[in-house]
Structure 1
């Protein structure tokens, strides 16, 4: 086993994936369809291979679940990897995407933003942003009043996003934004967003676990739609502080059965 701690392994793995994504950004890439509205690219596949190489070298006995290559190994410690969270944005040359690596049992996570060179990370006790090798503590803040509401959902599902975005009280209180990656959760931890709202099956998700772990370590309020612990009920509300969180719960309540 490497002498690096788990957080450094996560950071190194996320940075390895980010190098690939950054190099591929804007290039003509082959696509591999998953559904009519979802696909992977060469960048997704190559970035995941780069991430897996780092994890396997440092933690050869650990298991990994990746977005593209699935599960490898069986162990109590399982890494969750999304090599390019926001592939649709990436393919459209819209710079809202991230590289996610998490080790949920240890409370460890790293989210790399390839085009800025930033890595948002936590060792399970504190949350930080690394820029040019220098770490600064995450400082959640609701002063922007910017709330990202995820409107992505499987066809036919009963989804909150459209209802909340058209709610008059929500629009009078918050400036709504729409994003599609766990990058937004990292922004909540850093104070760049006041909150993030989504629903769906999020337990052990390669898309969301790194971001929710960051928010929790930064001291954000992270619950389901009813204010209960995350994963005990529907949805996710991650907010910079309790006042903002409660405002959102009050607005969401009429839309949750």
Structure 2
């Protein structure tokens, strides 16, 4: 019996998570990708489990996976985006802050998405009609909340907006530490934890469009009702890039103002960044 896209995404994410969980703590083979990045043998094994399941169920769809790239025939407008192990560095250091992401993009948008935490047996998912958390076979709505005041900040490259914004400088802003408590986890968990009310926000630079690291988490946050823009306040993927994700509008406005403090064209020569939120911030949707 065929299954719907939503359940397929959830099953595929859980299949990858099962591999990640089973291999945790075992010796790893590191596969260098660049001077500062690597995959592991578990990335490859988890990706194979995810892709094999997708291929069997949807042979006509494209698959874009982090390690194996794009596979399949361009017979339709459906592409599965697969990140088999978001948090590889954490995993290699035996830190249980990782996720497995699966998202389906069609007609120019993500229609279903799932992010599975291998060590809590939690799956965060959406089919476009709200965000849900599946735990113990039971689904419950994701409810964003800024109450924790915890904000995850991605300090990893790339830095396409480095001239005007660097996340590490955000941590030095007095206005940031007065209002928030910084944390750093894997990209996927940082996003879905905002949707789940476990984080107040998340900030990153980079190129999130069609990116296997971001696709599932962004879709889940949007479905759960989070505020999601680029670092310039424009809709995701429409402007400078990066992401400012927040549980509610006030938190988003505060984070966006702090990010804008770094823009050099907003300062007089020699003027240091101000921690004061001196102007209202209205995101451009």
TM range (shorter): over 0.9
1:127 CA drift (Å): 0.7
Distance 1:25 1:195 in 2: 29
Give a deviation string over 1:19-71, Cα, whole Å, max 9, x none. Answer: 00001111101111111221111110010000011111111110000001000
| SS of residue in 1 equivalent to 2:151 | strand
Match of 1:96 in 2: 97
| SS of residue in 1 equivalent to 2:254 | helix
Match of 1:34 in 2: 33
1:155 CA drift (Å): 7.6
Count of equivalent residues: 256
Match of 1:82 in 2: 83
Match of 1:69 in 2: 68
Return closer, same or farther for 1:238/1:4 CA change in 2, 3 Å cut-off. same
Instruction: Flag as ranges the 4+ runs of structure 1 deviating above 4 A.
Output: none
Match of 2:201 in 1: 195
Match of 2:276 in 1: none
Instruction: Flag structure 2 segments of 5+ consecutive residues without an equivalent.
Output: 265-285
Q: Larger C-alpha radius of gyration, 1 or 2?
A: 2
**TM-score, with normalisation over the residues of structure 1?**
0.96
Asked if structure 2 preserves the Cα contact closer than 8 Å seen for 1:81 and 1:102, the reply is yes
Asked if structure 1 preserves the Cα contact closer than 8 Å seen for 2:98 and 2:189, the reply is yes
Distance 2:169 2:79 in 1: 36
Matches within 5 A, 1:121-136: 121-136=125-140
Return closer, same or farther for 1:198/1:155 CA change in 2, 3 Å cut-off. closer
| SS of residue in 2 equivalent to 1:130 | strand
| 1:167 equivalent among 173, 180, 197 | 173
1:156 CA drift (Å): 9.0
Match of 1:116 in 2: 120
